[in-house]
Amino acid sequence: MTKPFCKALPLLLGLGLAWAQPSLEQAEALFKAGDYAQAALAYEGVLAQDYGRFEAHLGLGAALFRLGRLDEARFAFDQMVRVFPDRYEGHFNLGQVYLRLGKPQEAAEAFARAAELRPTEEAYLGLSTALLQAGQAKEAAEALKKGLTPERSLAYRLALAKALYASGARAEAVPVLYALLNQEARVAEAWELLARILAEEGLKARALRELDRGLQAVEGKDRARLLLRKALLSERPEPLLREAYALDPSLWEAAYLLGQSRLQAGDPKGALGFLVAAYRVSPEPQVALALASAYLELKDHRNAYRYADEAGPPGAFLKAQAAYALGRKAEALALLEGVSAPEAQALRGALLLELGRAEEAVAVLRPLYEARREPQVGVNLAAALLALRRFGEAELLLREVLARAPRLAAAWYNLGVALQGLAREAEAERALRQAAALGSLEAQKLLRR
């Protein structure tokens, strides 16, 4: 990350103190006292008297930035570079404001000009950050390579390795990382990125060895990220994830993976603590999706609906399931539009059937059943056929279903209804008795009539 431009301001502002006019001294005193609103007004007053005062332009932009008035700060630094086009400070600070405004392309142009005027580490780091945010990883790496000199910091070299990795130049990043680690072995991020690259190159065993070397060199909470990376490469990740999470509870990825592990083991209640902790630190869509799954399994449909909604498009199916469980069938059906997963289409067919749209249900369920021959889909398809009084077709389908799942009570019940529709009462009664014996309440009621 680039350093906030305000860190440089005490030095930059201090240049004018020896010969400043009283009004400029007052503005700088207000700025140093943290009264940025009054400082901004004072700097404006200085510029109203003399628009060529470099220190007043710089101070005004900085005060506005500190106040969070970014559009005004952008204008102030834009004016500064117009009046002083050959001064580094205006271009550098303008780049920082553009970054905060979410305009990386404009930020890159400002940082590039700053680097031309004075090739500082901060200017090149700012330029690479802007280019990465603009999706130009290759250009970011090239910028950092251009600015690389022997005196550059470890942070600069790590940024170069990250940019090379982001640009797809993984092999080129490796010597940069080894040179960095040979100079300072306690940089956890460098070990983590090195292991990731080695694993992606198919060198999993070597990646694990390098992580072990890193764990010997790195101390404290920084070890947690290395343990997380090792867990991702390990066949037994849970102990490593637990150790990582104990070291650094803010490491949401470890908590999320522990929660996912509990979910996969059929323990949604055990998963919740980890997933909630992960979500509090970083409300990522995949964490919200896992929370929705856990709450759905626990039949807490309101929370399942909430987190599925927060997961965005990937949560549409879970949100539809929760809406259905909450009795909001029309909403659930609308949510399933465009969701092509077989499970989603199966629910869509069932909803159409329940909403009395049997023809549409058949159109959805028939191709789904023919593709996968899932018994429950077959049962629902048969129910739709029964609603359309296509009893013979339903009978053939249900006998096929029962050949695969002979203890499916709903299939026996629907078969009984189909046989009644065909006026084959003795066969219908046998099918309904079989359904009742398997626990079908509907069959039991029908037999008592």
Q: What is the DSSP string of 403-428?
A: HH-TT-HHHHHHHHHHHHHTT-HHHH
Is 229 part of a structural domain of the chain?
A: no
What pLDDT was estimated at residue 448? 82
* Residue 298: domain span: 249-335
Please tell me whether residues 428 and 360 are part of one structural domain: yes
Give 23: exposed, middle or buried? Use CB within 10 Å, 0-12, 13-18, 19+.
middle
Contact between residue 187 and residue 154 where contact means Cβ atoms under 8 Å apart: yes
What pLDDT was estimated at residue 3? 36
Stretches where the chain sits below pLDDT 70 are: 1-22
Is 148 part of a structural domain of the chain?
A: no
Please tell me whether residues 344 and 449 are part of one structural domain: yes
Query: CA 213 to CA 206: how far, in whole Å?
Result: 11
Please tell me whether residues 302 and 317 are part of one structural domain: yes
Is 260 part of a structural domain of the chain?
A: yes
Query: CA 176 to CA 69: how far, in whole Å?
Result: 39
Please tell me whether residues 285 and 384 are part of one structural domain: no
Query: CA 259 to CA 236: how far, in whole Å?
Result: 15
Please tell me whether residues 325 and 355 are part of one structural domain: no
What SS3 state is found at 445? helix
What's the number of domains the chain is made of?
A: 2
Please tell me whether residues 397 and 431 are part of one structural domain: yes
Please tell me whether residues 421 and 439 are part of one structural domain: yes
Report the CATH number at residue 411: 1.25.40.10
Q: Residue 249: CB partners within 8 Å, gap ≥ 6? A: 255, 277
- Which spans in 201-315 are helix H? 204-217, 223-233, 237-247, 252-264, 268-281, 285-297, 301-310
| pTM for the predicted model, two decimal places | 0.78
Is 82 part of a structural domain of the chain?
A: no
The domain boundary, picked from 273, 308, 335, lies at 335
Is 288 part of a structural domain of the chain?
A: yes
Please tell me whether residues 370 and 443 are part of one structural domain: yes
Query: CA 341 to CA 371: how far, in whole Å?
Result: 13
The domain boundary, picked from 282, 307, 335, lies at 335
Please tell me whether residues 443 and 357 are part of one structural domain: yes
What pLDDT was estimated at residue 7? 36
Query: CA 173 to CA 157: how far, in whole Å?
Result: 10
What pLDDT was estimated at residue 23? 85
Please tell me whether residues 303 and 383 are part of one structural domain: no
Q: Dump the DSSP string for 388-403.
A: TT-HHHHHHHHHHHHH
pLDDT digit string (tens) for 280-313?
A: 999 999 999 999 999 999 999 999 999 999 999 9
Query: CA 337 to CA 389: how far, in whole Å?
Result: 27
Query: CA 162 to CA 172: how far, in whole Å?
Result: 11
Please tell me whether residues 281 and 308 are part of one structural domain: yes
For 20, 250, 262, 291, the CA distances from 269, given in Å and listed in that order, are 67, 21, 8, 10
SS (H, E, C) 213-246: HHHHHCCHHHHHHHHHHHHHHCCCHHHHHHHHHH
The domain boundary, picked from 335, 362, 395, lies at 335
Query: CA 29 to CA 48: how far, in whole Å?
Result: 19
Is 306 part of a structural domain of the chain?
A: yes
Is 223 part of a structural domain of the chain?
A: no
Please tell me whether residues 442 and 348 are part of one structural domain: yes
Is 267 part of a structural domain of the chain?
A: yes
